[in-house]
Amino acid sequence: MKLYDCDLHIHGSYSGGVSKNMLIPEISMQAKLKGLDIIASGDILNKEWLRHLKENLCEENGCFRDKKIDVFYILGGEINDVSNVHHLFFLPNFESAEILRKKLSSYGRLDGYGFGRPSISLNAEKLACIIEEANGIIGPAHAFTPYYSMYSHFSSLQSCYGAQVKNVFFMELGLSADSYFADLISGNHGLAFITCSDAHSPWPHRLGREFTRIELKKPCFEDLKKVFMEERERIKLNVGLDPREGKYHCTACNRCYSKYSIESAKGLNWRCPRCKGTIKKGVRDRIMELADFKEEVHPEFRAPYLHIIPLAEIILMATKAKDINSEAVQSTWHELVSKFGSEIKVLLDVELSEIQKIDEKVARHIGAFRQGNVLYISGGGGKYGEPIICASQEELELKKLELRDVLECNSTFKGQKTLAEF
């Protein structure tokens, strides 16, 4: 068996709001640089994208691989049901995809130019039945976000999937939650957790910004399904942003992003007094409403969760460059990644003295990140949170005082382990 770093939720360029660069050759190349081994195909129900996948992937013993680069793909996609809940699904092969397309096409629109997620007039239970008939597996996508998620519309897995709950084995946590939050709800303890990017562009601060490390016999659907159903201990690590970086972490106004406690939001009838915008309930508060536990608790098989910051963001902070796509950030990113093999290695494994030879400031920032000297301005209302890397524990304490008003929806910060400690 081998460890694979997997990003199981992306979108292709034929979907609405997605970069035209999200094509298999580019995705594979960027995945390689990032250090990812398996990517979910995304958008398999889109006819044009399905054709693009068939053109660019080859099949070897049930595994799909880019014809030119050594990156594997799991076929699948995302779909919106009648209650506006998004689900991820995975399929064994192209035949299943054709069957599913045919079955679902009578229930709604599956594709079209610039079209968003395929949307059908079936509830989750009926959808799960059809996915099963096509030999696929289904689970909630970004399960806690205030829009288009299971927990924004239902209070349990059972109430969403009905009798089909017996066939739901995994859940995508989404950017605003992590295993700590998700396991506060006891109904989630039977599920495998996956952390994915939901990337709409292939650049390294998007693709693989969250990923799951899984031990597999073969990089294929059948073995992944086995992991989700029976051998969840083969999920070795969930890697993702600190939930405070997620754009729906705190309860906040969706226009001016002012943050509110859940009590004051209720008192204000979810209307922002500053700008008259709508206050959106944050993932953190939604989880607290549903939580069965007050303290951290996990099933035995649950993998540790490692919080990371994309390398490009760290370089941006260290160099104080204008933006993440600037030449200064991109050239340093490429230099580091080509020298050390992948972004994940640079972030977690390479000796700081080695990174120092390329850029001293970046090395210092990576060191501080590894030590956990990071503060977060929490996201909310649709605005991403922001990490602040501090040079030392002292600086961190000072900044904490200085920023205490904006860190408000902030749980007490805990330093984190390095990869070597897991």
Compare residues 100 and 347 and give the one whose CB is closer to Zn ion: 100
Give the integer Cα–Cα distance in Å for 414 and 225: 34
Neighbours of 24 (CB within 10 A): 23
Neighbours of 118 (CB within 10 A): 23
Amino acid at 183: D
Give the integer Cα–Cα distance in Å for 108 and 21: 28
Q: Check binding of 297 to Zn ion (CB under 5 A).
A: no
- Please state the closest distance from residue 186 (CB atom) to Zn ion, in A: 25
Q: Check binding of 272 to Zn ion (CB under 5 A).
A: yes
Nearest Cα residue to 80 out of 4, 11, 165, 163: 11
Residue 303 parent element (H or E): none
- Please state the closest distance from residue 236 (CB atom) to Zn ion, in A: 24
Q: Check binding of 277 to Zn ion (CB under 5 A).
A: yes
Distances (CA, A) of 375 to 46, 108, 169, 371, 411: 41, 45, 34, 12, 11
- Please state the closest distance from residue 148 (CB atom) to Zn ion, in A: 5
Segment interacting with Zn ion, rule: CB under 5 A, options 33-41, 105-113, 198-206, 212-220: 198-206
Distances (CA, A) of 200 to 13, 15, 207, 270, 350: 8, 9, 8, 30, 29
Candidate residues 52, 65, 86, 281; the one interacting with Zn ion per rule CB under 5 A: 86
Q: Which of residues 111-170 bind Zn ion (CB under 5 A)?
A: 141
Residue with tokens 């939604």: 286
CB 380, CB 257: distance < 8 Å? yes
Q: Check binding of 102 to Zn ion (CB under 5 A).
A: no
Compare residues 5 and 78 and give the one whose CB is closer to Zn ion: 78
Compare residues 1 and 256 and give the one whose CB is closer to Zn ion: 256
Candidate residues 43, 183, 198, 313; the one interacting with Zn ion per rule CB under 5 A: 198
Q: Which of residues 307-346 bind Zn ion (CB under 5 A)?
A: none
Q: What is the separation, in whole angstroms, between the first and last Cα of the chain?
A: 19
Candidate residues 58, 229, 268, 275; the one interacting with Zn ion per rule CB under 5 A: 275
Phi-psi region of 178 (alpha: psi -120 to 50; beta: other; left: phi over 0): beta
Q: φ and ψ at 164, to 5 degrees?
A: -75, 0
Segment interacting with Zn ion, rule: CB under 5 A, options 126-134, 218-226, 256-264, 295-303: 256-264
Q: Which of residues 235-254 bind Zn ion (CB under 5 A)?
A: 253
Which DSSP letter does residue 302 get? P
Compare residues 9 and 307 and give the one whose CB is closer to Zn ion: 9
Segment interacting with Zn ion, rule: CB under 5 A, options 19-27, 71-79, 220-228, 282-290: 71-79
Compare residues 205 and 232 and give the one whose CB is closer to Zn ion: 205
Q: Check binding of 199 to Zn ion (CB under 5 A).
A: no
Nearest Cα residue to 316 out of 388, 249, 371: 388
Q: Check binding of 172 to Zn ion (CB under 5 A).
A: no
Q: Which structure tokens are listed for 342?
A: 């992948």
- Please state the closest distance from residue 174 (CB atom) to Zn ion, in A: 9
Q: How many residues sit close enough to Zn ion to count as binding (CB under 5 A)?
A: 12
Compare residues 199 and 315 and give the one whose CB is closer to Zn ion: 199
3-state SS assignment for residue 386: strand
Q: φ and ψ at 421, to 5 degrees?
A: -85, -10
Sign of torsion, CA 86 90 91 94?
A: positive
Segment interacting with Zn ion, rule: CB under 5 A, options 120-128, 224-232, 257-265, 325-333: 257-265
Residue 158 parent element (H or E): helix 157-161
Q: Check binding of 256 to Zn ion (CB under 5 A).
A: yes
- Please state the closest distance from residue 411 (CB atom) to Zn ion, in A: 23
Neighbours of 104 (CB within 10 A): 20
Candidate residues 7, 37, 43, 78; the one interacting with Zn ion per rule CB under 5 A: 78
Candidate residues 2, 274, 334, 357; the one interacting with Zn ion per rule CB under 5 A: 274
- Please state the closest distance from residue 40 (CB atom) to Zn ion, in A: 10
Interacting residue ranges for Zn ion, rule: CB under 5 A: 78, 86, 141, 198, 253, 255-256, 258, 272, 274-275, 277
